[in-house]
Chain A
């Protein structure tokens, strides 16, 4: 089966750094995605980790440890527009691998 856990809500201040954790237990694993979803909109792709380590892309970085079943998304220099839900999703290892999504972490950035 697939089980993906991430915190339900987080709050942070504009300009700060926040880390959103995700742990997973899945029957297959190809890689791990992070998506950002604003209210009423579809998810937008942020990052994809296949190998262990940190991937940095501008203000956003994503880390993966396959042995620990753990990932985090790091957001630096927070802006008000970063207030959104952040979805952790795991890709399975079948030929037509599907994504299993966590329930999302609602991040609220305050002034």
Chain B
């Protein structure tokens, strides 16, 4: 149980374009989903917390107009990187948490490369 999928696994895009990443909880209802970013040899940095049906809560320093998060259902959250730039190239990882639990289960991650 507690499987989280993420799509796509890799994406390469041109500077200035937008990229959408999907995160799905496959076998449980995720009341809360989290989006992280991880640069090489660094730890996971939380970008935002997303609760189903409400606006995401962004961490300090994360531009909410650049990183659009939608959590339309209990099994799906999306992260859209708008007007991507090379410095946005990173490993983006989502996690999902069910109601009444503290444990987050992670998706396999999306490697974004912006040329």
Q: Is B103 close to A, CB under 8 A?
A: yes
CB pair B103–A45 under 8 Å, yes or no, is yes
Contact flags (1/0) for A45-76 with B, using CB distance below 8 Å?
10010000000000000000000000000000
Q: In the complex the two chains form, is B106's CB within 8 Å of A43's CB?
A: yes
Q: Which of B83-106 contact A (CB under 8 A)?
A: 91, 93, 102-106
A33→B43 contact, CB < 8 A: no
Chain A neighbourhood of B51, CB < 8 A:
96
Interface-central residue, B32, B57, B104, by most chain A CB under 10 Å: B104
- Count contacts between A and B, CB distance < 8 Å: 48
**In the complex, A104 Cα to B45 Cα: how many Å?**
12
Q: Cβ of A87 < 8 Å from any Cβ of B? A: yes
Residues of A within 8 A of B (CB): 30-31, 33, 35, 40-45, 48, 87, 91, 96-104
A99 and B108 in contact (CB under 8 A), knowing A45-B103, A48-B102? no
Contacting pair A103 B102 (CB below 8 A): no
List 3 A-B pairs, minimum CB-CB distance, nearest first: A42-B106, A42-B109, A103-B43
Residues on the B chain within 8 Å of A31, using CB: 102
Check: B13 CB closer than 8 A to any chain A CB: no
Q: Pick the residue among B42, B43, B49, B93 that contacts A42 (CB under 8 A).
A: B93
**Is the interface on chain B under 10, 10 to 19, 20 to 34, or 35 or more residues?**
20 to 34
A-B contacts, 13 of them at CB < 8 A, read: A35-B106, A42-B93, A42-B106, A44-B106, A45-B104, A45-B106, A87-B44, A91-B102, A98-B34, A98-B49, A101-B43, A102-B43, A103-B42
Known: A42-B106, A42-B107, A48-B103. A99 touches B43 (CB 8 A): no
- Give every chain A residue within 8 A of B49 (Cβ-Cβ): 96, 98
Q: Mark B15-46, 1 if CB is under 8 A from A, else 0.
A: 00000000000000000101000000011101
**Distance in angstroms between the alpha carbons of A88 and B59 in the assembled complex:** 20
Query: Taking the nearest CB of chain B, how far is it from the CB of A44, in angstroms?
Result: 7
Q: How far is the CB of A9 from chain B (nearest CB, A)?
A: 11
Tell whether, in the assembled complex, residue B42 and residue A97 are in contact, meaning their CB atoms are under 8 Å apart: no
